[in-house]
A and B are shown apart, each in its own frame.
Chain A
């Protein structure tokens, strides 16, 4: 192994550690710059003969550690070897050596270029950063109305129609052996709906009202009580029922429920005063 100091820094056992160490370099140009600095040389002078060997030694270590070496590193190794060989060739007799461009020129230019951006990146990294050093004073966002929610209030007819569809999906009624059905009251459903709507940002789909906690099919009694509860909540203005509107103004899309703030406050007052609340119906 060539003595560069850097490979030694890599020489840890676990591949996770190696991957992290390898991240020290942002690519072949970065590694080259590092090696030039190690040799205390000037980039413009590009000490190819020293650096090429050290570079290859570095790749050897990476290989020994069974790291994947990105193709870019290998291309650079080839470039360095090529330049080195060009520099070793004896100048041809025919005055050509005066004209021939320095084989290092292009690489030097790229290194200088990269170095500028590397410095710029370091500067950028030290800027006061929003989200790290300073934070914008975040006032809760006023959510813009999504286009799908240009809504109109739903007519009773549309609501009834939706209700019929839900009802059609539930069993017609208790079977012969009537197991004690859940005691469902309209009042309890009103409270449940308000809890459900209250826990949502925005709106709730009509169908979600009939979801049961366990995901099983709701009983007919539950569906009916829920619907009556909904109607009552709309009547006391605790809820508003909306539906999307097409461009031409025709109601379309799912029916959604939203709390109506003034009515909801009123509702809360009524709950607080209502003795049935205490009985836990």
Chain B
């Protein structure tokens, strides 16, 4: 298939998908397209959008490509999407930061870092699907552990977790929290059922 035709289809797929769509998925659908060529095609599309001054951009987030509106038109979209505004309090951001860098992490560990009760914030983050219950820590009491979700990556425009900026190192490193090394029984992201045997819990794409 002609490269120009492949590009056209890739563009259509990214537009129609809404959610981030991975290079592998695109290659699967577009005849004769290799996953390694996807980045090149996307780069061309980006170039075209930019040259034409379009309001659209293709972002690489949460392990895939997603079409988004340019930041320059955000004020107008905020008026359009009033109910969708993603407001996060400082408490929510701090809790997210602890989970993002320490996952899988228990509520007690989050509270130890922040020095305050984490319950309500955790609930709201789980409700907003930025955080999920990833399983149990295999220590007495089997506390739940929390991890970030794909939605988290999408919301913050991160291709993958490794793209978080590194946490500033400090001279005084705390000893790892008790039981942090204990194994975790992961829960299925959809059903909440325990998955056995346990794959690594941070299977974020």
Contact = CB atoms under 8 A, between A and B. Distances in A.
Answer yes or no: are A and B bound together in one complex: yes
Interface of A: 26-30, 44, 70, 72, 76, 108-110, 112-125, 127-139, 141
7 contacts: A72-B115, A109-B172, A112-B172, A125-B88, A135-B69, A136-B69, A137-B18
Given A26-B91, A116-B168, A141-B18, A134 B115 contact: no
A130 B68 contact: yes
Given A26-B116, A114-B115, A130 B94 contact: no
B115 A29 contact: yes
A136 B101 contact: no
B180 interface: no
A29 B96 CA distance: 17
A264 B70 CA distance: 40
B157 A27 contact: no
Contacts of A129: 86, 155-157
B116 A117 contact: no
Contacts of A28: 115-116
Interface in B146-176: 154-158, 165, 167-168, 170-172, 174
A26 B19 CA distance: 34
Interface in B57-93: 57, 59, 61, 66-71, 74, 77-78, 81, 84-88, 90-91, 93
A119 B74 contact: no
Given A112-B172, A119-B168, 14 more contacts: A109-B174, A114-B113, A115-B170, A116-B168, A117-B94, A121-B90, A124-B97, A130-B154, A131-B84, A134-B74, A136-B67, A136-B69, A137-B69, A141-B18
Nearest to B62: A130
A180 B78 CA distance: 55
Interface string B101-137: 1000000000011111100000000000000000000
Contacts of A117: 94, 97-98, 101, 113-114, 167
Contacts of B115: 27-30, 72, 76, 110, 114
B71 A134 contact: yes
Contacts of B56: 137
A191 B46 CA distance: 50
Contact of A133 (B19, B74, B98, B116): B74
Query: In this complex, which of A72, A110, A129 has the most chain B Cβ atoms within 10 angstroms of its Cβ?
Result: A129
A124 B69 contact: no
A72 B74 CA distance: 39
B15 interface: yes
